[in-house]
Structure 1
Amino acid sequence: MSSSPASRLISSIISFLLLLTSPACLVRAIDGTSQQTGGNLAGGTCMFTNYTLPPGIYGSTMSGPDWNAGAMCGACLFVQGERGSVVAMVVDSCPSCPKSRVNLFSDAFPKVGDPSAGTIKIQWDIVACGITGPIVLRNKTGSSRYWFEMQVLNANQPITSLDVSTDGGKTWQATTRKDYNYFQKAGGGGGFGADAVTVRVTCQDGRRVVAPGVGVAGDTEWRTPVNC
């Protein structure tokens, strides 16, 4: 039995909307280049120590100008080459690389281009990571009520800011993102004078995720109620 014109129209609209929301739909389609890199997740400039990349997401290194002093740490990129495409998270920087360079870890590069080619042409864009778990907040070694440094991991989007409240969200104090990918109390550092605080992270699309009762002791991790 053939479908009606109305049902075919609805099906076409749904297919079009799915195409627009697919990572394969490169909205900006930035032209760039890529080389294969051995990868340095734990020791990279984003300092993703003890972090495991989510299934289906590979590692990448971004050129210094695009890395933007750590602002792109944790961002996911859809990278398209002549062989295919991958989704790769920015976990390290390459200060000497030219603008728009995205180097891929050795397990990802062959899916996009020929490793024997050396440098290949690619197109890339920032996409949502598609992570189903929560955002992870990690306190740096030495953090306490007297010194605050916190890292944001596992976010579906790049994080643009992190604010802290010591009064349950009535007022907020800003932090500054350092180029080693930790947020430090604005104004030169120091602590917030509390053993537990409320943390608010702002995602690239403007959404805010609030986590109450977050401890500030060094080398501890906390999870937010939701992701971006």
Structure 2
Amino acid sequence: MTTPSHRRRSRPRRPTALVSAVAVAAVALVVSLAVAFRPGGGTTDVQDAAKPVAGTRVSDSPTAGTPSASASPQPSVSSASPTAPASASRSAAAATASARAKATTAAPPKTSTTGSLAGRIRPGVTYQGVATSYDVGNGDGACSFGPTSDVMTAAMNTADYETAQACGAYVAVHAGGKSITVRITNECPAPCQAGQLDLSRQAFAKLAPLSAGRIPISWNLVGSDTSDTISIRYKTGSTQYWCGIQALGHRNPLARLEVRTSGGWKRLARTGYNYFLSEQGTGCGAAIRLTDIYGEQLTVEGIAVKANVVQSTRVQFSRH
């Protein structure tokens, strides 16, 4: 009888299931006791172990695909940390920029900011030396300005004369609490030393008695307040094939004289007698460009080659 036999064989499974359930309960009890009595263990550990995984921060789980319930819109440490260094960098950069600004705006020596084209005699510099005197005669001198009734003139020592670069310069001379202004029209050769001025007798007398002969002085370059404009003169013998050009009445010392050519401006060499020469005739009769020691440039047009004729212009350098 197949059916009863089959039923009898299936009944004994109930006790087996019951035994299995008891065994599982016993194992669970043993595990619970083991956890409870481990060092530092307790019921709270069991509770913590049972917390849902949803309580874990997303940033702690590299496999999380979506933010968890505990995620907040507040910036994490990793997103906030670059802010502090950037702020510090901006502060440091601002401090550096401020320091640079102070260094830039600090007043530098006058010699470095003005008269960049000057030679030995520079604006803003006070020179020490001695003054002597001489008879200027008709007022002419090495600068080739020609006779003049102006007696407030001086001859510059050869070193500071510097191949006529001092010609036409105005200098203030100080001695014994007195000051005068003279124009350089001549050169004082040896034994005149660097810093020495050989004044006209009229100019010297305003500082000390002529009998003093030689007095200590200080002097410095100054600007002229003349309202006259500059004049141009071609040297005697000048033609379109050879010429010497001279500028007269310039308010500031002259640094360069150039002539216009087909290839651009050509700078002419200056002589010790204060003419600028074009020995091959280049630019003779063409436009002339004058540059003072401050870098100001003036262009003169329409000056014909007329030997030893003073021709007026309409230009003048700014006063400094």
1:200 offset after TM fit, Å? 0.5
Alignment of 1:68 onto 2:165: no
Q: How does 1:66-215 map to 2 (within 5 A)?
A: 66-82=160-176, 84-96=178-190, 97-166=192-261, 171-185=264-278, 189-192=279-282, 196-215=285-304
Alignment partners' CA distance in 1, 2:135 and 2:186? 11
**Structure 2 unmatched ranges of 5 or more:** 1-122
Q: How does 1:19-98 map to 2 (within 5 A)?
A: 27-40=124-137, 42-51=139-148, 53=150, 58-82=152-176, 84-96=178-190, 97-98=192-193
SS in 1 for 2:205: helix
Alignment partners' CA distance in 2, 1:159 and 1:45? 16
1:224 offset after TM fit, Å? 2.6
Q: Contact between 2:260 and 2:283, CA under 8 Å: does it hold in 1?
A: no
The farther-off stretch of 63-72 and 76-85 is 76-85
Give the AA of the match of 1:100: G
Alignment partners' CA distance in 2, 1:151 and 1:207? 18
Q: Contact between 1:209 and 1:224, CA under 8 Å: does it hold in 2?
A: no
Alignment partners' CA distance in 2, 1:49 and 1:27? 29
The farther-off stretch of 118-127 and 80-89 is 80-89
1:110 offset after TM fit, Å? 1.3
Q: 1:211 to 1:70 in 2, by over 3 A?
A: same
RMSD: 2.0
Q: Contact between 1:142 and 1:217, CA under 8 Å: does it hold in 2?
A: no
1:40 offset after TM fit, Å? 4.7
Alignment partners' CA distance in 1, 2:159 and 2:182? 18
1:222 offset after TM fit, Å? 1.9
SS in 2 for 1:112: coil
SS in 2 for 1:116: helix
1:212 offset after TM fit, Å? 0.7
Alignment partners' CA distance in 1, 2:296 and 2:245? 19
Q: Contact between 2:140 and 2:147, CA under 8 Å: does it hold in 1?
A: no
CA distances 1:143-168 after superposition (whole Å, capped 9, x unpaired): 1111110111111111011001156x
Alignment partners' CA distance in 2, 1:193 and 1:90? 28
Q: How many residues align?
A: 194
CA distances 1:10-53 after superposition (whole Å, capped 9, x unpaired): xxxxxxxxxxxxxxxx9322111001111156541111114554
1:227 offset after TM fit, Å? 1.0
The farther-off stretch of 41-50 and 73-82 is 41-50
Larger strand percent: 1
Q: Who wins on radius of gyration, i.e. which is larger? A: 2
Q: Contact between 1:78 and 1:126, CA under 8 Å: does it hold in 2?
A: yes
Q: Contact between 2:139 and 2:149, CA under 8 Å: does it hold in 1?
A: no
Q: Contact between 2:140 and 2:148, CA under 8 Å: does it hold in 1?
A: no
Alignment partners' CA distance in 2, 1:45 and 1:141? 16
Q: Contact between 1:41 and 1:48, CA under 8 Å: does it hold in 2?
A: no
Alignment partners' CA distance in 2, 1:193 and 1:37? 39
The farther-off stretch of 216-225 and 126-135 is 216-225
Q: Contact between 2:287 and 2:301, CA under 8 Å: does it hold in 1?
A: yes
Alignment partners' CA distance in 1, 2:283 and 2:225? 36
Give the AA of the match of 1:88: V
Q: How does 1:4-19 map to 2 (within 5 A)?
A: none
Larger helix percent: 2
SS in 1 for 2:290: strand
**Structure 1 unmatched ranges of 5 or more:** 1-25
